Structure 1
Amino acid sequence: MSEEFRRELLSLFLQKNKEFKDFKKLEHISRTMSWSGSRMPILEREKNYLMSLLPLFNSVELLEHKAYVEKQIEYIVESIENEKKKGLFRKQRLSEFNLTKESNE
């Protein structure tokens, strides 16, 4: 299902039901996925999608919803930072491995 379609469905849902407890039960980002290589593109896409939802919460009745989505965005930003650190660590380890390998030859 496209992100645009999911956003439209969420908008319709919020027009009919502003209950936070019901909103919280919805799956806003996919929890089951597989990938090869870096998770960065997936995390960036999730962050951008959630940020695109924020304009839907521009009313007092939806402040709790907005705070919830903003918290999810914060978690993703933290995950992005962790992935960057892992990538730098992997590059450093690979570089060290290559230097060690070259000196042994």
Structure 2
Amino acid sequence: MQFNSGRPVHAEAMAHRALAKIPTSFRRNKALATAQLALAQLHQGEAEQATLTASNVFAIMDGDPLPGRMRTLIGDFHRGLFVRASSTAYARDWADRMRTEWSRA
């Protein structure tokens, strides 16, 4: 997927398409595509929506540790969010959630 291709609108469309086709039982794949969707939304300037989307990664993984590639994407999202919207309430809420989820790993 081209979530970091410089074409965030295209990346978002591809992520939505992938999510529609991934069976629910493939949790890791669904969570990975969700993380990619969040990054695409963030790169389009939709930081609040992207934060909601990124939070779904943790819900999909249901307490299981995030695999390496997914941890990298979530870390990229986290850094990008704080570059774009560090003073917002949703970014602070995200940081709290991130600390809680990361400590489980």
* TM-score bin, normalised by smaller chain: 0.3 to 0.5
Whose Rg is larger? Answer: 1
